[in-house]
Amino acid sequence: MQFTKVYEALNWASSFLRENGRDENAGELLLQHLLKMERSKLLAELREELEADVIETFIEGINRVADGYPLQYLIGFEEFYGRKFMVNEEVLIPRPETEELVYGVLARMKRKFTDSINLVDVGTGSGAIAITLALEHASANVFTIDIAEESLKVARENAERLGAQVTFLHGDLLRPLIEQGLKVDVVVSNPPYIPEEDMLTLSPVVKDHEPLRALVGGVDGLDFYRRFMVEIPQVLKNEGIVAFEVGVGQGELVAELLRQTFPGSMVEVVNDINGKDRMVFAEIGFS
């Protein structure tokens, strides 16, 4: 391919990515990253010449994206709730539906609590949920747990860069809180929930590059939710909120687990913006 100008590079990338079944916008995002430009400035300079080294790096990057490598890992970040979070292959790339989970948690916290509260995010990955909740709800004392030290390293860097006060704990599910005898008002988690056989049908962009430990939830995808039903009662205060992201079609199954564990609680399955059951919220012990 022969091009030297911004618009030529974008046209080539868009066409090439479309032919390979990838997101056509990846070229624009990659070029913004390489040139360190906001979108408005990039579009204002469409006829500007590109340096040879930028062209070489751009072509190499677009080829990797066309082969299925996630753009977010290539440029090193993803937007979440209006902030940039660093990501690499040790963490799941934050998704828009998880923003809806965070929004739902914030709305319920505001409605149910007036004083400062303790909150734990389990399986933090990049830290997107915990850090966003800490920044959006300043009176929350936020803990977050992950079984992988590599993930915690990324989350700590994100917290430091974004100025969030979060306590990071290394361990399996809620064990670190149980072992320390700590109680919380809110438990939120986006756990691994993909059934084992469904992994075969996932896009190679996901299954070949994102960490499997953050994706697979056993034969039916519900293993982690069942474990939560044993551990949450050991850490939740008498009045509390539980919030889960779930896979499509799992909403009522997870809701029933919560109803059985917390009889009399108000459990709600909430659809995302696409009309899919992606969130389950439980309000427990409130009169």
* Binding residue numbers for substrate: 190-193
H/E run at residue 66: helix 52-66
Residue list, annotated binding site for S-adenosyl-L-methionine: 123-127, 146, 190
* Number of alpha carbons in the 13 Å side-chain half-sphere of residue 1: 18
Q: Is-contact 98 190, C-beta < 8 A?
A: yes
Q: Is-contact 272 97, C-beta < 8 A?
A: yes
- How far from the centroid of its chain's Cα atoms is residue 121's Cα? 11
The residue type found at 36 is: K
If you ran DSSP here, which 8-state letter would residue 274 be given?
T
Residue 248 CA to residue 5 CA, distance in Å, equals 43
SS3 18: helix
Question: Length of the chain in residues, anyone?
Answer: 287
Residue list, annotated binding site: 123-127, 146, 190-193
Residue 80 CA to residue 126 CA, distance in Å, equals 11
Q: 156 exposed, middle or buried (CB, 10 Å; 0-12, 13-18, 19+)?
A: middle
SS3 264: coil
